[in-house]
């Protein structure tokens, strides 16, 4: 997608629509576009998901590999994130543009999961201080049509929900040496509890109001946005302001409250959708929902 260019008349038209709670595509200020989720789409991964929202298309793969726990957390596994913003998604990612955005999204994901409640990392420990599961989460931006942070967070949660990790048996001989055996049964696996994994809600200030799930055109009308990481209970785990414009403190608090409200509804829709998608069996299906 090429860079979006809006005339002054188009910008005014979009801003007036937001003021009247009627955006260009007919949505209200707190409405998401239609979202499609498909899991188990990459065969050589432990879990994967693809999600589409408007013209934004994200593919996430999770690979579980055995590693050594971190020194500060010897009884836990951990996650590593990598985001690829290739120039195939949009010419804007040529040169350093894609690398800079990929680093920004990666750092935001680390901040999202930098707490003890998002994911039960202790379940990824095999033997304390010696062996654990490391989850390598690879995010590929296939197409960009606005609202990347929200889309990436939803796709990551869906991929983690789909992840299956082989069960491990630790055998110790008479001399005290340990041997690790992996289960060959694909159904004998560990599933991650992703209930507390947060999603990002981006609230973009357009005129005197704010909108969720901004399109590329609306992002051009917004000088500042607030990213809130919200759990299914409406708890904020991360807050970030992006953009060159300034925000009134009262506006920030309003946007936080909107993020909590919208986030709880989004989590419930996502939970229902993932359960429905999994109930369809091993055959891959696309399931859509409205946030």
For residue 236, pLDDT over 60 is answered with yes
pLDDT at 171: 75
pLDDT classification of 279: cutoffs 50, 70, 90: confident
Q: What is the mean pLDDT of the chain?
A: 87
pLDDT at 51: 93
pLDDT at 110: 93
For residue 218, pLDDT over 70 is answered with yes
pLDDT at 286: 57
Which of 11-15, 106-110, 168-172 is most confident? 106-110
Residues 141, 51: Cα–Cα separation, whole Å: 10
pLDDT classification of 94: cutoffs 50, 70, 90: low
Residues 282, 285: Cα–Cα separation, whole Å: 9
pLDDT at 166: 87
pLDDT at 289: 59
Contact 18, 26 (CB under 8 A): no
Give the per-residue SS3 of the chain.
CCCCCCCHHHHHHHHHHHHCCCCCCCCCCCCCCEEEEEECCCCCCCEEEEEEECCEEEEEEEEEEEECCECCECCCCEEEEEEECCCCCCHHHCCCHHHHHHHHHHHHHHHHCCCCCCCCHHHHEEECCCEEEEEEEEEEEEECCCCHHHHHHHHHHHHHHHCEEECEEEEECCCCCEEEEECCCCCCEEECCCCCCCEEEEEEEECCEEEECCCHHHHHHCCEEEEEEECCCCCEEEEEEECCCCCCHHHHHHHHHHHHHHHHHHHHHHHHHHHHHHHCCCCCCCEEEEC
Section 202-227 average pLDDT: 92
C-alpha distance from residue 171 to each of 180, 181, 202 (Å): 6, 8, 48
pLDDT at 211: 95
For the chain, the first-to-last Cα distance in angstroms comes to 24
Q: Which comes out higher in pLDDT, residue 285 or 174?
A: 174
Q: What is the set of domains in the chain, with CATH numbers?
A: 8-285 (3.30.230.70)
Q: Which comes out higher in pLDDT, residue 288 or 29?
A: 29
The bridge status of strand 131-143 relative to strand 125-127 is: antiparallel
Give pLDDT tens digits for 132-179.
999 999 999 998 888 999 999 999 999 999 999 988 877 776 666 677
pLDDT classification of 283: cutoffs 50, 70, 90: very low
pLDDT classification of 2: cutoffs 50, 70, 90: very low
For residue 84, pLDDT over 80 is answered with yes
| C-alpha of 264 from chain center | 15
Contact 47, 62 (CB under 8 A): yes
pLDDT at 52: 94
């Amino acid at each position: 997608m090429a860079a979006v260019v809006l005339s002054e008349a188009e910008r005014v038209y979009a801003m007036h629509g937001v003021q009247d709670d009627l955006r260009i595509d007919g949505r209200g200020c707190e409405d998401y576009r239609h979202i499609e989720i498909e899991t188990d789409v990459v065969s050589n991964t432990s879990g994967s998901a693809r999600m589409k929202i408007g013209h934004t298309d994200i593919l996430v793969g999770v690979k579980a590999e055995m590693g050594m726990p971190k020194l500060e957390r010897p009884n836990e596994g951990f996650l590593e994130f990598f985001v690829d913003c290739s120039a195939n998604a949009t010419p804007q990612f040529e040169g350093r543009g894609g690398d800079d955005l990929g680093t920004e999204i990666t750092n935001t994901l680390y901040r999202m999961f930098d707490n003890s409640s998002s994911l039960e990392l202790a379940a990824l420990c095999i033997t304390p201080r010696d062996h654990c599961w490391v989850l390598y989460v690879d995010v590929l931006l296939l197409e960009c049509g606005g609202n990347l942070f929200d889309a990436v967070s939803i796709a990551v949660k869906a991929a983690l929900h789909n992840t299956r990790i082989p069960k491990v048996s630790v055998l110790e001989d008479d001399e005290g040496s340990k041997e690790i055996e992996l289960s060959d049964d694909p159904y004998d696996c560990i599933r991650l509890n992703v209930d507390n994994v947060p999603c990002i809600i981006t609230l973009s200030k357009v005129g005197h109001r704010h909108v969720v799930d901004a399109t590329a055109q609306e992002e051009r009308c917004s000088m500042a946005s607030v990213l809130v990481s919200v759990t299914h209970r409406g708890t904020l785990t991360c807050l970030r302001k992006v953009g060159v414009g300034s925000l009134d403190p009262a506006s920030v608090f309003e946007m936080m409250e909107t993020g909590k409200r919208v986030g709880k509804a989004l989590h419930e829709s996502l939970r229902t959708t993932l359960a429905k998608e999994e109930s369809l069996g091993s055959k891959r299906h696309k399931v859509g929902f409205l946030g």
